[in-house]
Amino acid sequence: MPRIRPGRVRTKNTNRREALRLSSMAPEDYNVRPGEVKSIACPDCRTWRRIMGEKVLKIREHRISDKVAEGERHVLCPGTDQVVVVDIDVRRWQVKQDCLLREAMPQDTRRAAQQFYKPLPAPAAPVSQMNAEITLESARQAYLAHRTRIVGRGRSAARPQGCTRCVGGQHCPDGAILARRFVFALQAEPARREAREQQERQEQRAARQQSRPAVRRAQWAKHGGEAVERANNRCTERTSGTVSEFRGADLPMLPQNIEAHDRRQAELGRQYARKTAATSAA
């Protein structure tokens, strides 16, 4: 008799649930654009998470941390290590999304559409917590959510249905706000990237400068100077007959163990006597 196993995935490093098929999700709840960081709105906690892996795709480990501030412990989200299967036509999905995004833009700025293919480094902000900083990604996803949001449950949920008042380039008040926000983020992106790159260049330059030979010499010179010289000079060998700078009542004048000292002195005396006897005999 065949054993019944929980789900199809049996390896330990998954959450042991059935693989999550993208076709079962709303098209705006994931990002699998080629060249971009793959991300998904975790079905369990509804926050944007990265999809990791090459062949086997899984939702990256993450915690439900909304209530940590309220004293709750860190709890791993059950969506962690959820296997994701890309069972959609990525090209068609992308074309459709791009089409909607183009509609967000006023006619004269539509050339900016080429920006879509640029890789975006940061994972998207949670859709449900959009009050965070507006990034290009979050603005894009928010607009797409408005245009393609799933309405209803069950069978009808499979067919996403966007805002009915947003048609083509015509937007409802909400849609218009989201569209403007998206276009604004899109236009700001090159400047942001430039600023980011410039900062990186500056940091690299600073690091290079720190390791230049002249700078290194200067750093070592800091270990020299008058004070260091004086300290070093104090380490010179003491020539007999000179007055020591170690003086005062605290200075011990007698050996610590007088008996041992005397024994050692007697031993050295005998050694010396043997040596002189040997040389005079030769």
Minimum distance from residue 124 beta carbon to Zn ion (Å): 14
Residue 178 binds Zn ion (CB under 5 A): no
Binding segment for Zn ion (CB under 5 A), chosen from 84-92, 175-183, 204-212, 224-232, is 175-183
- Nearer Cβ to Zn ion (46/212): 46
Residue 86 binds Zn ion (CB under 5 A): no
Angle between helices 90-104 and 136-148 (to 10 degrees): 100
Q: Is the dihedral of CA 40, 46, 48, 51 positive or negative?
A: negative
Minimum distance from residue 73 beta carbon to Zn ion (Å): 16
- Nearer Cβ to Zn ion (128/257): 128
Minimum distance from residue 215 beta carbon to Zn ion (Å): 48
Contacts of 261 (CB under 8 A, 6+ apart): 255
The site map against Zn ion for 30-69 (x = CB under 5 A) is ------------x-xx------------------------
Binding segment for Zn ion (CB under 5 A), chosen from 155-163, 188-196, 197-205, 220-228, is 155-163
Binding segment for Zn ion (CB under 5 A), chosen from 22-30, 78-86, 208-216, 260-268, is 78-86
DSSP assignments along 137-152, one per residue: HHHHHHHHHHHH---S
Residue 68 — φ and ψ, nearest 5°?
A: -65, -35
Minimum distance from residue 44 beta carbon to Zn ion (Å): 4
Residue 188 binds Zn ion (CB under 5 A): no
Closest CA to 192 of 143, 130, 137, 141: 137
Minimum distance from residue 4 beta carbon to Zn ion (Å): 27
Residue 26 binds Zn ion (CB under 5 A): no
Residue 185 binds Zn ion (CB under 5 A): no
Residue 79 binds Zn ion (CB under 5 A): yes
Residue 20 binds Zn ion (CB under 5 A): no
Considering only residues 201-260, where is the footprint of Zn ion by CB under 5 A? Answer: none
Binding segment for Zn ion (CB under 5 A), chosen from 29-37, 165-173, 203-211, 248-256, is 165-173
Q: In angstroms, how far is the first alpha carbon of the chain from the final one? A: 104
Binding positions for Zn ion, rule: CB under 5 A: 42, 44-45, 77, 79, 163, 165-166, 172, 175
